[in-house]
Structure 1
Amino acid sequence: MPRVDTDTFYRNALERYGHNAQGAHWESARTQRVRFAVLRRLLPADLSALTLVDVGCGLGDLFRYLEVQGDRPGAYVGIDVVEPMVEIARLRTDGEILLLDALRDPLPGADYYLCSGAMNTLTREETRLFIERCLAASRLGFVFNLLRGEDDCDTFNYWEPEDIEALAQELGTDCAIETGYMHRDFSAALRHPVQGAISTDVVAKTV
């Protein structure tokens, strides 16, 4: 059973706060940018020849962050399950924004998948499936963040870095973890040990 109804959870925030970081359920634009900066460090130095899928793209803020940094990837695709967010992201970016459920729908193939915050309301079982599907759709790996702590909350999804390290070992991926940048938060990069083939089981198309 899901922790929350994702669509209602984010629609309510948008209606209350508007088209900003709080409307995407971030504490603030500053903490959103801190998380983006950490995830960026876990990606290759040069994105210019890479395709990047931003799963749970929300309002397109990651795309705008990279653009301001002069650090756009070769190709960018945003995915979100909340239709109003998809509509806004299409207006705010010039990337391809898709209305998809990452847990159920075929996913576009890419070099890297990236996720900032979208797994924070999933169950542990959904989180594992989300990670597996994003890895399967990626050629090089999946970079993401999670809330850190004991999984004892009805709304939010908490993990410990060692849980992700164990999952990475089980899935046969290399794992890099970054902590210490924010209380009760960590980021991870799960990378295929060799240049991987994208699984045809989850992929809709290759970007």
Structure 2
Amino acid sequence: MRSSSWPYGLPIFRRDLINWQLWRLWLLTTAMEWVPFGRLAGWRRYQMPTVGKNRSRFSADVSRLEEHYSRLFMEHNDTPAAVQQRDRTTQESRMLRLCEVGDISEAAILDWGCGSGHLLHVLRTQLNFQGQYTGYDVSEPHLQAARLKFPDATFDRRDIFSKGAGGEFDYVLISGVFNNKINDNWEFMKEAISILFSATRKAIAFNALSYYVDYFDDHLFYVDPCKVFEFCKKNISPLVSLRHDYRLKPGTLPYEFTVYVRRG
């Protein structure tokens, strides 16, 4: 018997029916969340996040990043601000730098930290990309938007630190993932590069905020590009290129850099 005064069929709280397992099952099967954007607007069943049995040391950081970027999407919808980008021009400039890693026109690409898939838009509209694209992110709202825009591509929620890269790719591209300050950014960065390079057949390309700037934001992570270069050179591959010569905004110092790490 169900109470007509409660939504979603909440069981009546009578003493002879109280059962913690039943209540727990109800929570898992009928909990709902509001999705306020686009074709997905309305109530839907909440997808309980899946975490691997072997939680990584970065699981707490990944969860915080998931919450942060999901909130940004709810606030800004599918715009550059939802991925902490100033505008489309600077966002695409960063992405095009990454794409200089090699001939990617027909390659299998993993976009780690794909957001709502704007890199795929850049690849197809500006670089005549005809290859296979996979995007990983931790923010489900971003992923849902990406799937609506690009139903022929693969977008997954995946924690590489606990589940690995999930396959092999010609190139792995990473834009903006290392920018937010977390508990141990340097260890996070090193482990991510190591995991993802092991999944590449040709190369990995990523960007980061440079320590050589005239302004520091307390919420962002800045790293010495020489330190990153040395780590990659000694531990990942002898074939490393570093670019620190481009401006994203006129009249400013080059405040970020891009690294290409290739297989021999």
TM-score (structure 1 length as normaliser):
0.84
Q: Which of 208, 223, 226 is the aligned partner of 1:146?
A: 208
1:36-88 Cα offsets, whole Å, 9 max, x none, are 111112x213521x211000000100000111114214211011111111111
Give aligned-pair identity as a percent. 23
Map of 1:29 onto structure 2 = 88
Change (3 A) 1:74 1:56: same
C-alpha displacement at 1:160, in angstroms? 2.0
Q: Partners in 1 of 2:142 and 2:75 — Cα distance?
A: 14
Q: Which has the higher strand share?
A: 1
TM-superposition CA deviations, 1:130-169 (whole Å, max 9, x none): 110010111112101101117x765222112211110112
Aligned equivalent of 2:24:
none
Is the contact made by 1:3 and 1:156 (CA closer than 8 Å) also made in structure 2? no
Match for 1:156: what amino acid?
L
Q: 1:157 aligns with which of 215, 218, 221?
A: 221
Cα root mean square deviation, aligned? 2.1
Whether the 8 Å contact between 2:72 and 2:82 is mirrored in structure 1 is yes
Amino acid at match of 1:96: T
Counterpart of 2:115, as a letter, is: G
State the distance in 2 between where 1:75 and 1:46 align.
10
CA contact (8 A) 1:177 1:188 kept: yes
**Closer, same or farther: CA 4–28 of 1 in aligned 2, 3 Å:** farther
Q: 1:112 aligns with which of 155, 167, 171?
A: 171
Q: Which residue of 2 aligns with 1:130?
A: 192
Report what 2:141 is aligned to: 84
Corresponding residue for residue 191 of structure 1? 262
Count of residue correspondences: 191
* Structure (1/2) with the larger helix percentage: 2
The amino acid that maps onto 1:159 is: V
The secondary structure found in structure 2 opposite 1:40 is: helix
What does residue 177 of structure 1 align with? Answer: 242
Kept in 1, the 8 Å contact 2:111–2:174? The answer is yes
Misfit runs of 4+, over 6 Å: none
The 1-side partners of 2:124 and 2:72 are apart by 25
Contact 2:62 2:159 survives alignment (8 Å): no
The question of whether the paired residues in 2 share the 8 Å contact of 1:55 and 1:102 is answered with no
Alignment partner of 1:45 out of 99, 103, 122 = 103
User: Which AA in structure 2 matches 1:180?
Assistant: D
Q: 1:46 & 1:53 partners in 2: Cα distance?
A: 11
Mapped partners of 1:187, 1:168: distance in 2: 13
Q: CA deviation at 1:103?
A: 2.3
Q: Is 2:16 aligned against 1:16?
A: no
